[in-house]
Structure 1
Amino acid sequence: MTHPPVPRSYRAAVAVARPVMRAMTRRRWEGGENLPQGGFIAAANHLSHVDPFTFLHFLIDHGRYAKVLAKHSLFTIPVLGHLFRSTGMIPVHRGTERAASALNEARARLAVGEAVAVFPEGTLTKDPDLWPMVAKTGVIRLALATRAPLIPVGQWGAQALLPRGRRIPRAIPRKPVTVFAGEAVDLSDLYDLPLDAEVLREGSARLMAAITALVARARAETPPATPFDPRTGPA
């Protein structure tokens, strides 16, 4: 399948950023064979403000110039905002009447065969040990509405490159970064059910369980039995 054309500005940004990322990281990529040729949703855990770049690096190294759903405030930053707009990234207006516009735009991108990259948690994980936490439901709404393949992605290592509270990456020595993509999450039994809170919670739980399993493999550790819920705190 032929992929949609990639904006020239996107290719130019990658030409600059990819050598920088390669100079700062030692990469372990696995699961690229799970990325479909047509439109799909890639959903990853969120550890660090630099992990959108490691996430995209993985996808682009496998030939998919994905469009990221990113909070609208990033589009207002000089230079960065222009870059986001020119490369076709999708702004998310959280808590406003325009909140649905991001999902509509993502649906349109998927319909023409593009890849869409998302962070289901909606923000950096608040789990004290950096395990994936309970997801918001927007990603599942998108997956059920479009029936696009939903690919879980687990990543680990970006937090060493740019720890929380720092503005400048710790580039030396190079940091090991692991990104694993898993098989598509099976939501087929949910497709024809009413899109209520129970269905959205079930779909989100399946997605985050798949992502957490990939993160556990990347970390070679056992995850908590119950994911952190920012509304209630630790279980």
Structure 2
Amino acid sequence: MSLYADPPDWELVTLGELLRWPLPYQEGAVNRGLLRAVALAARGRVLAVSGLQNVRAGYDPFILALNHSTRTEALLVPAVLTLHRGGRLIHFMADWNFRLIPGIGLLYRRAETLTVTTKPARPRVLDALRPLYRAPGSVLDHARATLARGRSVGVFVEGTVNRDPETLLPGRRSAALLSLETGVPIVPVGIRFPHAAPGRPIGDGDAMEVRIGPPLLPRERLERPSPAALRAWHATVMGEIARLSGKRWSPAPGSGRLVGAPPRRAALPPPSHGAAP
């Protein structure tokens, strides 16, 4: 298969197809094996992915902005996207607590995640280990440096797992801030759970569909975005995620309609076939 033709939507693949999947951007047999193993685990959980043409490796850098309904999607969705990108990583922001879990910590290190150390550990006694995972500078500084190197960044913008089947959380503005500061487009992603029982919280075992929207390009690059500009761009992004995920969104609990300017969709250039890993 070609990495540069428009990719088909993800559907369930066989073990043989996974083993033969080209991964030119993944170095080392261990990394390739781990990626294929997690992608295999996604077969029964990620039912479909549409819009893969919007996250091809040649379109880096971009900021992937997703809703967040289960703990498992933080492993499975990045693995499926990395597989379709030929092994080229999207560097997701991830809570440091997960690095304490055997196996998960290994996967996060191999995936070169951007570690967020703001939340306390569970149990709290493990907070003594937090300095071991805190890198110099903020996670936003590391995200800016990642984008400047031509790499893409992933953000679960709700900031925590939200099991509400109908409504998004107001969300955090880090993705919008990075986009305005750098001029890098945001690729909105909605994760749906079509077979979840209506009226109950979304569970970690519920199968998901992933819908990737076209890139959203900020109207201008702002070294220091004003609160109003940041608020409006965040609302635009969250509105697209709401549309893709099939959920409602409002900027604050109890507030009304969506706010924000109509999105400006980025025109996708031809992918750079020789993009460096």
TM-score range, shorter chain: 0.7 to 0.9
Please give the residue correspondences for 1:1-235 in structure 2 after superposition, counting only pairs within 5 Å: 5-8=25-28, 9-22=30-43, 24-25=44-45, 27-35=47-55, 37=58, 38-63=60-85, 64-94=88-118, 101-125=138-162, 128-157=164-193, 160=196, 169=205, 175=207, 177-189=208-220, 191-192=221-222, 194-216=224-246, 223-224=247-248, 226-227=249-250, 229=252, 232=253
Q: Which segment drifts farther, 42-51 or 81-90? A: 81-90
TM-score for both structures, normalised by structure 1: 0.76
Say how many residue pairs are matched. Answer: 216
Matched residue type, 2:189: V
How far apart are 1:59 and its partner, in Å?
Answer: 1.4
Structure that is richer in helix per residue: 1
- Residues 1:101 and 1:7: Cα distance change in structure 2 (over 3 Å): farther
Asked if the contact 1:69/1:117 (under 8 Å) is kept, the reply is: yes
Q: Which has the larger radius of gyration?
A: 2
Matched residues in 1 for 2:170 and 2:100: separation?
Answer: 28
Matched residues in 2 for 1:74 and 1:103: separation?
Answer: 19
- Residues 1:49 and 1:185: Cα distance change in structure 2 (over 3 Å): same
- SS at 1:188's partner residue? coil
Matched residues in 2 for 1:151 and 1:193: separation?
Answer: 21
Relative CO higher for 1 or 2, CA cutoff 8 Å, sep ≥ 6? Answer: 1
Give unpaired runs (5+ residues) of structure 1: 217-222
- Residues 1:43 and 1:4: Cα distance change in structure 2 (over 3 Å): farther
- Residues 1:233 and 1:147: Cα distance change in structure 2 (over 3 Å): same
- SS at 1:155's partner residue? strand
How far apart are 1:39 and its partner, in Å?
Answer: 1.4
Residue identity over aligned pairs, in percent, reads 24
- Residues 1:80 and 1:54: Cα distance change in structure 2 (over 3 Å): closer
Cα RMSD (Å):
3.4
- SS at 2:190's partner residue? strand
